Structure 1
Amino acid sequence: METIGFIGTGNLGYPIVENLLKAGYGVSVYNRTREKALPLQQLGAVLVNSPAEAVVQGGIVMSLVSDDKAIIAIAGDALVKALGAGGIHVSMSTISPDTSRILAAHHLEEGVQYVAAPVFARPEAAAAKVGTAVISGNDAAKARIRPLLEAGFAKNIFDLGDDAGSANVLKLIGNFMIAGAIEMMAESFALAEKNKVDPRVVYEMLTTTLFASPIFRNYGAMIVDRKFTGDPSFSAALGLKDLNLVLETAARSYTPMPLAQLVQSRLTTVLAKDTKDADWIALAMGALEDAGLK
């Protein structure tokens, strides 16, 4: 099996690299904070000191970083030239569709294919390889990386065609819908509690019948348990970044999204209160507090 470069081993990248190593791939890892990647070295990963050092000519590098600024910083000339003709950059980050399109064009100047493959999975789902990938880019490149996505985290893969930005549009839609579901559940459970109906019974009934899906089941439990802070798998700051991207994309395409504006405001309020250890589920606090609940 070929050696894969991997850039960004945060909460989500870490279990993906772990799975790739278990599947027998060699993995060269670059993480901005080297110490956080040290346990992967004990599992067989090779730690390197720059993004360009993680790749080989004509090889594959996978990146999973926090935002547009981070992906632009790592995907510069050094990385692209190191990959060279026949190389593939698999960008798994949640970023602007326009950024993906710009990066794809820049990569192609050196004969490198850029594939957008954002991840739908919390860390535990990635570790269990039950996540979902949405991919867009060159067909041959997508075929070559598919086994890596399956080995790393993906139970399902959806192909959005050759426009590099399309997968990122779908990723933003998905994250908006999750945020909308959180707001809807928070308002509903608040209504139940204010009317002396046990929210836990409401949760059990709805998430095992009308809304029987992992999103409603998992996030609903966190709302009922008031599990808003601690060790976030997906921080409120990243959630706000994604809602900002949703609304930027909506503005460019003249798409009104009033619910997206509401959940953006909820997340802004969470961060305004300096809740640094908040998961993005904490946006649910807004509806509870509006109803006079704690």
Structure 2
Amino acid sequence: MKIAFIGTGLMGYPMAKNLLEKNLELNVFSRTIEKAKPLEKFAAKISNSLSEAVKGVDVVITMLTDDDAVEKVLSDQDFQENLKKGSTIVDMSSIKPKIAIKYGKLLKDQGINFLDAPVSGGTIGAEQATLAIMVGGDQKVFDQIKDVLKVMGNPTLVGPIGSGQVSKLANQIIVGITIGAVAEAITLCEKAGVDGNKFIKALAGGFADGKILQNHGKRMIDKDFSPKGKVSTHLKDMNNILECAGDLNTQLPISNLIKDMFKSLVENGNDNDDHSALYKEIERRNKN
């Protein structure tokens, strides 16, 4: 099976590396070629254009920054004209569900299969190949591609095209709100003189325990906000969540609050911080 992998950023690079380490044949394309070049040592073929990357391949995996980046690739004429009939595009980016549905229909008319398959687990999950992969599309297409996805994590078909993106938005609601809850808990402990590390240890095994408490809580205590998942990316997700909810005439008041907090972080120059920087926003509000 020949595969093209498009997008080698914080997430895409380790995902592509995992595929290469399973000896899969991979064409790699990135808008910034320098980001893809190191994959050559794992036997990747670095492509100089989208058309070169996708020509003759069976599967195209895209892992891009946002809606605009995905649309720019999927609507590219050279890209579309060089796709192999019957091939499958798997978009693993996090985008609006309606964009996934739009391109699913457009590509189907051209004889191309499409799956939306956003992921959760951050750079650690990407590196360790333990990503949660939420897939929208046809069962038959999913079954054909499932073994490739398993190299990167744990794929689950959740419904028709667009369902993967809705599931990712729901995931980001839980992640964003939980980071906010952990940030408030760590802040309260610090204000009261409680040792944050011992607090996290004390909660191990209880209802409040979890990856976000253990990982993001530790970052807050250490004041280490180097990006694993960026504030700007989570703000994009929160905006997409609320747009999707609006389309469904549904109110999500807690998501609105978390969105406003991420928005404030961006406005205060913290857009490239890790999303655990919600701690900084709570700190900022306590100074006012």
TM-score by length of 1: 0.92
**Which amino acid in 2 is paired with 1:280?**
H
Structure 2 Cα separation of the partners of residues 33 and 58 of structure 1 = 22
Structure 2 Cα separation of the partners of residues 137 and 68 of structure 1 = 19
Counterpart for residue 284 of structure 1: 279
Q: 1:176 pairs with 166, 173, 187, which one?
A: 173
**Which amino acid in 2 is paired with 1:158?**
T
Counterpart for residue 270 of structure 2: 275
**Which amino acid in 1 is paired with 2:147?**
P
Q: Alpha-carbon deviations, 1:259-289, whole Å to 9, x = none?
A: 1111111111111112354112112212233
Structure 2 Cα separation of the partners of residues 71 and 263 of structure 1 = 25
Q: 2:157 aligned with 1:159, yes or no?
A: yes
Structure 2 Cα separation of the partners of residues 57 and 104 of structure 1 = 20
Choose 280-289 or 163-172, whichever is displaced more: 280-289
Superposition pairs for residues 60-71 of structure 1, below 5 Å?
60-71=59-70
What SS is found at the alignment partner of 1:160?
strand
Deviation of the 1:251 alpha carbon:
1.0
Counterpart for residue 242 of structure 1: 237
Contact 1:190 1:291 in 2 (8 A): no
Contact 1:84 1:110 in 2 (8 A): no
Contact 2:183 2:282 in 1 (8 A): yes
Contact 1:136 1:165 in 2 (8 A): yes
Deviation of the 1:31 alpha carbon:
0.1
Structure 2 Cα separation of the partners of residues 289 and 201 of structure 1 = 25
Contact 2:183 2:276 in 1 (8 A): no
Structure 1 Cα separation of the partners of residues 204 and 176 of structure 2 = 16
Counterpart for residue 23 of structure 2: 24
Structure 2 Cα separation of the partners of residues 15 and 57 of structure 1 = 24
Aligned length: 287
What are structure 2's unaligned runs of at least 5 residues? none
Counterpart for residue 222 of structure 1: 219
What SS is found at the alignment partner of 2:203?
helix
Structure 2 Cα separation of the partners of residues 251 and 190 of structure 1 = 32
User: In structure 2, do the counterparts of structure 1 residues 58 and 47 end up closer, same or farther at CA, with 3 Å as the change threshold?
Assistant: closer
Counterpart for residue 5 of structure 1: 4
Choose 239-248 or 53-62, whichever is displaced more: 53-62
Counterpart for residue 74 of structure 1: 73
Superposition pairs for residues 118-197 of structure 1, below 5 Å?
118-151=118-151, 153-154=152-153, 156-161=154-159, 163-197=160-194
What SS is found at the alignment partner of 1:291?
helix
Overall identity of the aligned pairs, in %:
28
Structure 2 Cα separation of the partners of residues 50 and 265 of structure 1 = 38
**Which amino acid in 1 is paired with 2:169?**
L
Contact 2:4 2:57 in 1 (8 A): no
Structure 1 Cα separation of the partners of residues 94 and 204 of structure 2 = 27
Superposition pairs for residues 82-93 of structure 1, below 5 Å?
82-93=82-93
Q: Alpha-carbon deviations, 1:215-270, whole Å to 9, x = none?
A: 32111211222222x3x122111111111101111111111111111111111111
Deviation of the 1:174 alpha carbon:
0.5
Counterpart for residue 258 of structure 1: 253
Contact 1:15 1:126 in 2 (8 A): yes
Contact 1:62 1:90 in 2 (8 A): yes
TM-score by length of 2: 0.94
Q: 2:107 aligned with 1:111, yes or no?
A: no
Contact 1:18 1:40 in 2 (8 A): yes
Structure 1 Cα separation of the partners of residues 146 and 163 of structure 2 = 17
Structure 2 Cα separation of the partners of residues 98 and 39 of structure 1 = 35
Choose 74-83 or 260-269, whichever is displaced more: 74-83
Deviation of the 1:292 alpha carbon:
4.3
Structure 1 Cα separation of the partners of residues 284 and 204 of structure 2 = 23
Deviation of the 1:291 alpha carbon:
3.3
The structure 1 segments of at least 4 consecutive aligned residues displaced by more than 6 Å after TM superposition are none
Deviation of the 1:80 alpha carbon:
2.9
Deviation of the 1:165 alpha carbon:
0.6
**Which amino acid in 2 is paired with 1:187?**
E
Q: Alpha-carbon deviations, 1:61-97, whole Å to 9, x = none?
A: 0000001110010012432332232110000000000
Counterpart for residue 53 of structure 1: 52
Structure 1 Cα separation of the partners of residues 101 and 86 of structure 2 = 19
Contact 1:4 1:61 in 2 (8 A): yes
User: In structure 2, do the counterparts of structure 1 residues 140 and 78 end up closer, same or farther at CA, with 3 Å as the change threshold?
Assistant: farther
